[in-house]
Structure 1
Amino acid sequence: MTSERKLEHLLICNQRDVEYRGKSTGFEDIELIHKALPEVDKDGIDISIDFFGKKLDIPLIISAITGGHPAATKINRELAKAADELNIGMGVGSQRAAVENKELIPTYSVVRENAPSAFIIGNIGAPQIEYAEAAAGMIEADALAIHLNTLQEAIQPEGDIDARGYVESIEKIADIIDMPIIAKETGAGISKSEAVTLEKAGVNAIDVAGSGGTSWAAVETYRAEEDYIGNLYWDWGIPTAASTVEVCESVNIPVISSGGIRSGLDAAKALALGAECVGIALPLLKEAYTGYESVVKKVEEFKESLKIAMFLVGANNVKELRNCDLLIRGKTREWLTERGINTKKYARRI
């Protein structure tokens, strides 16, 4: 049952170790070049962005987390209250459960009720054309995410492993929905070739959701109580830093970098690589169990560490941060070089 599965996901993510074990995001390989003479007033740094016509005070989206079970109502309410107070974006989890069972709509609609002015992102799966309009209307969404989760489906005991027709379905959803469409992976990353395919299919933004943060193979391993397959694919995917570069290098639409973003410094590196903004899920989910004040405190820490990084590279705003010098080293450089991307240009932008 979809609703019970939603509850299991919540409990596992909150109580178990679900992060990648042998693979990182790759952000440790990204070195921002320090400026001893930044010529910037830290208190005057502007970290706001314009995202599809709406101002976000912080380049941050609470990534799609939950909905579809009564227990998710409180989590979404606390996250939404924080999103509204901070004026950041927020995505909900897959809305299929509520489209199929209207009794579950409040587990999602609670978001708009508590975040009347925030940028809210709906969520459906790639094959779910018939759910698109209902999902968007349910939460008065500003954008609709189409999630791509083939790794999760492959490990999930009841997973849908027929991925034929995804591109055609995405094209149709983009054609019928009159709002920004965001293609969103769920922890395994997006490559440059598939980013190009998604842009051609009509999506307006791409959330790379790379590997190194929450492993949905791990989550489904706990659910299935099956060690072999889940452990084998626990660390599958494109590291977030590499995926961010691959996608930013390949498309002309906004890119959201998510998947293991844990600090404002991680975010500064992602933005410097070209991302429009970043997404965070697991750390904020854990704070939401305590209450929205804890979510706000966590984001304020994120905000401060982002500003410090910008101060140290001499960036007055996010646009300047995207043009700062940086080095790409180690495994991330190896990955990108083998994929045909020149990493030297990032170190010599001026």
Structure 2
Amino acid sequence: MNNMNAGLNMSTSQRKIEHLNLCSSSPVESRTKGTGLEDVMLVHRALPEFDVEDVDLHADFLGKRMDAPFFIASITGGHPDTKPINAALAQAAEEMGIGIGVGSQRAAIEDPAQESSFSIMRDVAPDAFIYGNIGAAQIKEYGLEGIERLVEMIDADAMAIHLNFLQEAIQPEGDAGAKGALEAIREICSLDLPIIVKETGAGISHEDALLLKKAGVSAIDVGGVGGTSWSGVEVYRARDRKDVMSEMLGELFWDFGIPTAASVVECNVSLPVIATGGIRTGMDIAKSIAIGASVASAALPFVAPALESKEMVLKRLKLMMNELKVAMFLCGCQDMHRLHITPTVITGWTREYLELRGFNVKEFALRSNRSELQIV
């Protein structure tokens, strides 16, 4: 390995730990926009006619049965210090019967010594749904053979291709070469493995969702505005480097993109959808599923707990799943099927945005389980 490559390896690995430290210690979430879920209301059912203990959280996703419709979204990996963090996250996912994604595996391709920071997840979570992760900018370089190596590294159930061109455009060391990304995704979809395409904080539009469906992807993770802003993360890194240009770019685009709720509706193209971006409570999960998501996911809420222990991650997960169960109980939804069709009212900025984009939000409010009711 020449010195130039060695420097690149160090740079990628170092960025991973810098990102993790910033996310755990600095305000990196959306500042001027919410997720849009604050504009979504589940219609209360005062007579649910079942007990809260009867609520069934089981969900099917890409052929895998999970105990709840939730993933711990991609957080970290690629640096020695991230190995115990990934172990804690994966152990918690295994115990809860939910899914989990690894952070970008780019560092492990550039430096095989980093592989164990990713493979530890499968070691401690043999039965969990685990998806791999690499950027769209990298798959053009690595090709099918490189992706297969990433899959083998963690015995992945699916592979996620992340779109983070906003962050890449702000990073001085970023790769914002978007030309040919769609064709590269189409090629990766030829693999005998589900391919998830995920945004990382700016959302996915209906137009792009249709392109991804045509390319053959198996699911879309909206990664909408409202949660962690990777543009914001880069502001702090630029500030430390006294890189005024990157800092100003990061500030300007801190909240750029489509909020999570709107992006979930935008991505209704008959593919499974993951609602990511500012999901913080079980109520957020319920609302996301009611407007079209198959499952939800979050990363930032688990960073600080994972730095402490698996038990702290479990504590946060159990709280969110209890919140989801109560939310479903109060809107008369005993299982995921009913939650998908429960009456849901969309108001405010989100309604205005969706209507201007041509979506009929009244369809959500007028649907019901009336066929199951005996009306006298």
- The structure richer in helix per residue is 2
Q: Look up the match of 1:164.
A: 179
CA distance in 1, matches of 2:134, 2:177: 16
Runs of 4+ deviating beyond 3 Å? none
Would the aligned equivalents of 1:40 and 1:315 in 2 still touch at CA under 8 Å?
no
Secondary structure in structure 1 of the residue aligned to 2:196: strand
User: 1:64-114, CA deviations, whole angstroms, 9 ceiling, x for partnerless residues?
Assistant: 111100111011000011011111000001101101211000000000001
User: 1:314-334, CA deviations, whole angstroms, 9 ceiling, x for partnerless residues?
Assistant: 001011001000110000001
Percent identical = 52
> How far is 1:253 from its partner?
1.3
Q: Is residue 88 of structure 2 the alignment partner of residue 74 of structure 1?
A: no
Would the aligned equivalents of 1:83 and 1:118 in 2 still touch at CA under 8 Å?
yes
Q: Look up the match of 1:241.
A: 261
Q: Look up the match of 2:125.
A: 115
Report the TM-score, using the length of structure 1 for normalisation.
Answer: 0.98
CA distance in 2, matches of 1:36, 1:15: 42
Report the TM-score, using the length of structure 2 for normalisation.
Answer: 0.91
> How far is 1:40 from its partner?
2.1
Q: Look up the match of 2:6.
A: none
Secondary structure in structure 2 of the residue aligned to 1:244: helix
Would the aligned equivalents of 1:70 and 1:104 in 2 still touch at CA under 8 Å?
yes
CA distance in 2, matches of 1:224, 1:158: 11
Q: Look up the match of 2:352.
A: 334
Secondary structure in structure 2 of the residue aligned to 1:161: coil
Q: 1:275 aligns with which of 273, 293, 300?
A: 293
> How far is 1:142 from its partner?
0.3
Q: 1:218 aligns with which of 232, 241, 246?
A: 232
RMSD: 0.8
Secondary structure in structure 2 of the residue aligned to 1:278: strand
Q: 1:183 aligns with which of 182, 197, 213?
A: 197
CA distance in 2, matches of 1:161, 1:254: 27
Secondary structure in structure 1 of the residue aligned to 2:80: coil
Q: 1:26 aligns with which of 24, 36, 53?
A: 36
In structure 1, stretches of 5+ residues that fail to align are none
Q: Look up the match of 2:371.
A: none
Q: Is residue 15 of structure 2 the alignment partner of residue 5 of structure 1?
A: yes
CA distance in 2, matches of 1:124, 1:178: 17
CA distance in 2, matches of 1:299, 1:55: 18
1:83-162 residue pairs with structure 2 within 5 A? 83-127=93-137, 128=139, 129-130=142-143, 131-162=146-177
Aligned residues: 347
Q: Look up the match of 2:52.
A: 42
Q: Look up the match of 2:312.
A: 294
Would the aligned equivalents of 1:221 and 1:231 in 2 still touch at CA under 8 Å?
yes
User: 1:100-140, CA deviations, whole angstroms, 9 ceiling, x for partnerless residues?
Assistant: 21100000000000101000000011141432111111000
Matching residue's letter, 1:187: G
